[in-house]
């Protein structure tokens, strides 16, 4: 199976023929349309997905679709048209893509449907179900050949990450100041470096891209960071699938158990929220876990995680440089300079950074916080669908036989457990030093 990212010399024609650039263009088209819709109200641009079912209000699974079909159709049409335009410029067989895309969209819709069950929605999100549905298909009936032209994991992931960049606002860094920076930015690189040396020197894992993908997923923000690291290190799709699977499983375990631990030991809401925000791997899970302790813990947890998210672009660049100049060179690769590093750098990360900068320093000051949130409420829906399509495709492209070969005697699992344990201890120590009030004054946050 091919690498997540392949390297080629840059040509100006790449701007309209390469996947990374089209992810940027499509991401910004969605952000622009979200902006116009919010500011003018000239047209609807709100996505839809199955609503929560299995409760008194909507007892039946079939009731999950009540009133959402127009929005669901709009979502499908917008994504189908945009992704098809990109495929056309990239030289793909548009007819084959259009044939398969509706099926991928239906599978993603099923993932959202299962994730909307009232009893489990707080524990098993759409990513879990999308990956599971894809794996079920690929390991039973096999992914049919006619569907494969629409199974474009990287295309959907990269577009979603560009949109996600707009949600990473620098105002969040200001809100929590040096406290948030200390917890999110001091701990993260230390954990990445620790896990890299533990995986390569102690465990002697043969797949170095897998080591860095697991390390980044553990220390930054789970799936999104894993995707960026996989692109920067040229990891194989199987490496990414395995890392995402580990992340999703332990995210569920940690979001359920950590609030109980915080309460059991009498930890303050601020320290507990920061601890969970710095260690639980998914932003949504962080917020849910924090809210179980109260609004203050929920806010602190979300702020720490969002400050961590700012590091995605920086870490992706650092990984690209490190692998180009150190790892590949040590394994017999050629000498590389700045030009080759640029070629290896995942270009869609530029879109992620640009979206973050534009929304942080142009949108929020110019339009105001509430209007910016309104724009993001529209674009966020499309980001979620892009991710759901991507996770479905990851499953469709993977099989258990290939994944079993990656186990390497349990080393990846051991790497995650040891690395996450180190992350938990170090994050708790830093959170306690900064937020307990013993050394520094406790910051004031409006709840």
Asked if the model's pLDDT at residue 7 lies above 50, the reply is no
Q: What is the pLDDT of residues 317-353, one digit of tens each?
A: 888 888 888 876 655 555 555 666 676 677 888 898 8
Of residues 284 and 442, more confidence is placed in 442
Q: How far apart are CA 149 and CA 157, in angstroms?
A: 16
Q: What is the pLDDT of residues 347-394, one digit of tens each?
A: 888 898 899 899 999 999 999 999 999 999 999 999 999 989 988 988
The fraction of the chain above a pLDDT of 70, given in percent, is 90
pLDDT confidence tier of residue 6, bands split at 50, 70 and 90:
very low
What is the mean pLDDT of the segment spanning 158-183? 82
Asked if the model's pLDDT at residue 300 lies above 70, the reply is yes
What is the pLDDT at residue 4?
44
Please state, rounded to an integer, the average pLDDT across all residues of the chain: 85
Q: How far apart are CA 418 and CA 198, in angstroms?
A: 9
What is the pLDDT at residue 5?
41
Residue identified by tokens 């000239």 is 42
Asked if the model's pLDDT at residue 215 lies above 60, the reply is yes
Which of 219-223, 250-254, 335-339, 432-436 has the weakest average pLDDT? 335-339
What is the pLDDT at residue 403?
60
Q: How far apart are CA 24 and CA 44, in angstroms?
A: 23
Q: How far apart are CA 226 and CA 248, in angstroms?
A: 12
Q: How far apart are CA 290 and CA 276, in angstroms?
A: 7
> Cα-flanking dihedrals φ and ψ of residue 236, to 5°?
-80, 160
What is the pLDDT at residue 10?
62
Which of 192-196, 221-225, 271-275, 284-288 has the weakest average pLDDT? 284-288
Between the CA of residue 80 and those of 38, 76, 164, 244, what are the distances in Å? Answer: 22, 6, 19, 26
Asked if the model's pLDDT at residue 407 lies above 70, the reply is no
pLDDT confidence tier of residue 445, bands split at 50, 70 and 90:
low
What is the mean pLDDT of the segment spanning 286-309? 81
Q: What is the pLDDT of residues 110-144, one digit of tens each?
A: 999 999 998 887 777 788 899 889 989 988 888 89
What is the mean pLDDT of the segment spanning 67-71? 90
Which of 70-74, 178-182, 226-230 tops mean pLDDT? 70-74
What is the pLDDT at residue 206?
85
Asked if the model's pLDDT at residue 32 lies above 70, the reply is yes
Burial class (CB in 10 A: 0-12, 13-18, 19+), 339: exposed
What is the pLDDT at residue 1?
37
Asked if the model's pLDDT at residue 400 lies above 80, the reply is no
Q: How far apart are the first and last CA of the chain?
A: 49
Q: Are 54 and 103 in contact (CB under 8 A)?
A: no
Q: Are 28 and 264 in contact (CB under 8 A)?
A: no
What is the pTM (predicted TM-score) of this model? 0.77
What is the pLDDT at residue 107?
97
Asked if the model's pLDDT at residue 64 lies above 50, the reply is yes
The fraction of the chain above a pLDDT of 90, given in percent, is 41
Q: How far apart are CA 281 and CA 385, in angstroms?
A: 20
Q: How far apart are CA 182 and CA 427, in angstroms?
A: 10
pLDDT confidence tier of residue 431, bands split at 50, 70 and 90:
very high
Q: Tokens in use for 377?
A: 């409420």
Query: Largest Cα–Cα distance in the chain?
Result: 65
What is the pLDDT at residue 213?
93
């Amino acid at each position: 199976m091919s690498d997540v990212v392949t390297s080629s010399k840059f040509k100006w024609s790449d701007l309209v023929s390469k996947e990374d650039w089209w992810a940027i263009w499509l991401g910004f088209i969605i952000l622009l349309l979200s902006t116009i819709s919010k500011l003018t109200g000239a047209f609807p641009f709100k996505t839809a997905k199955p609503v929560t079912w299995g409760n008194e209000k909507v007892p039946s699974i079939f009731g999950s679709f009540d009133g959402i079909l127009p929005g669901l159709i709009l979502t499908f049409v917008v994504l189908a048209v945009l992704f098809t335009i990109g495929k056309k410029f990239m030289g793909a067989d548009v007819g084959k893509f259009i044939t398969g895309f509706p099926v991928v969209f239906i599978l993603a819709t099923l993932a959202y449907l299962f994730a909307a069950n009232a009893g489990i929605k707080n524990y098993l999100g759409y990513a879990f179900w999308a990956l599971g549905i894809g794996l079920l298909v690929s390991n039973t009936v096999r992914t049919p050949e006619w569907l494969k032209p629409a199974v474009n994991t990287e295309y959907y992931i990269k577009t979603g990450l560009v949109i996600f960049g707009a949600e990473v606002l620098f105002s969040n860094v200001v809100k929590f100041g040096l406290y948030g920076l200390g917890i999110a930015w001091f701990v993260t690189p230390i954990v990445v470096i620790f896990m890299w040396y533990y995986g390569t020197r102690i465990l002697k894992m043969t797949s170095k891209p897998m080591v860095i993908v697991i390390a980044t997923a553990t220390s930054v923000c789970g799936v999104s960071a894993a995707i960026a690291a996989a692109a920067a290190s040229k990891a194989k799709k199987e490496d990414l699938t395995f890392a995402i699977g580990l992340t999703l499983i332990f995210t569920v375990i940690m979001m359920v158990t950590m609030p109980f631990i915080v309460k059991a030991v009498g930890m303050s809401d601020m320290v507990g929220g920061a601890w969970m925000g710095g260690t639980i791997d998914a932003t949504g899970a962080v917020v849910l876990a924090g809210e179980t302790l109260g609004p203050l813990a929920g806010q602190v947890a979300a702020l720490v995680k969002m400050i961590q998210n700012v590091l995605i672009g920086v870490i992706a660049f650092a990984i690209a440089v490190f692998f180009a100049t150190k790892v590949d060179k040590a394994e017999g690769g050629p000498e590389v300079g700045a030009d080759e590093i640029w070629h290896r750098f995942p270009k869609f990360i530029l879109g992620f950074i640009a979206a973050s900068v534009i929304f942080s320093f142009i949108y929020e000051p110019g339009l105001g916080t509430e209007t910016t949130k309104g724009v993001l409420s529209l674009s966020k829906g499309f980001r979620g669908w892009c991710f759901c399509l991507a996770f479905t495709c990851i499953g469709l492209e993977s099989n258990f036989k290939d994944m079993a070969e990656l186990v390497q005697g349990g080393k990846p699992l051991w790497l995650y457990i040891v690395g996450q344990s180190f992350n938990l201890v170090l994050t708790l120590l830093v959170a306690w030093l900064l937020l307990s009030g013993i050394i520094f004054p406790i910051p004031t946050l409006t709840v």
